Structure 1
């Protein structure tokens, strides 16, 4: 947790996808200070005709390398989010040759009760995660 979902246009190699996921994970680790094995990532690839990611009138150029990253997470501070935006675009630019103009991010915030990591339990609520009392 957080859960990162990547929506992209089809056509990247497995090596390119691995580099993208690793870059995003490293940005998340630094921005949110989560454990290294706190890694939940899903890639959804779409036909070019099935993706429209425009710029809300901001004149941001997009290419076929465009990436939409949806971050589902417990509440994060504005500083954590803006740090993540910067670290993510820097890492994707350096390691994947994806322009910062091709990276769009949105956050979906939820609470501790909204997470179960398995076994039919809400581990944040039971205290198995983050030292919360049962």
Structure 2
């Protein structure tokens, strides 16, 4: 169950925000085989004076509308899967009106022992089991 944090410019429209969230989600489903019902994306907004970044880092000309995507997920995806994930996110967000140049993606990996995803249960024990509410 990847958990995503997405930071957007504060004046991002609700429609574009929804398209960005779904673009990231669809890329996760396509690239790493994440189940489609595992949508967990916490969106935050930043004002221009709250986010400082180089507009030319690594030779890429960025705008003032950088989208930062942090993905926390269980360890074990190959570099090829991550490469496809990054490309899929860029493709989907471009369709949502975001320049590829303005997309930052960071992946944080950990293990089941680092998660509790409901009922205060240790996820290592649950492993991908379904709760009784499903």
Say if 1:110 and 1:56 are closer, same or farther in 2 by CA, change over 3 A.
farther
Check whether the contact 1:7–1:46 (CA below 8 A) recurs between aligned residues: yes
| Counterpart contact for 1:5–1:41, Cα < 8 Å | yes
SS of the aligned residue for 1:44 comes to strand
The residue number in structure 2 matching 1:65 is: 65
Partner residue of 1:126?
A: 125
Matched, 1:28 2:35: no
The correspondence of residues 1-134 of structure 1 with structure 2, limited to 5 A, is: 1-54=1-54, 57-75=57-75, 76-94=77-95, 96-123=96-123, 125-129=124-128
Residue 22 of structure 1 and its aligned partner are, at CA, apart by 0.7
RMSD: 1.7
1:51–1:59: structure 2 CA closer, same or farther, 3 Å change rule? Answer: same
Listed as ranges, the gaps of 5+ residues in structure 1 are: none
Runs of 4+ with deviation above 4 angstroms? none
TM-score with structure 1 length normalisation?
A: 0.88
Report Cα offsets for 1:74-120 as digits up to 9, x if no partner: 112111111111000011112x1111110011111111101111111
2:49 match: secondary structure:
helix
Which sections of structure 2, spanning at least 5 residues, go unmatched? Answer: none
Alpha-carbon shift at residue 64 of structure 1 (Å) = 2.7
The answer to whether the 8 Å contact 2:73/2:107 transfers is yes
1:128, CA displacement in angstroms? 4.9
Counterpart CA distance in 1 for 2:112 and 2:55 is 33
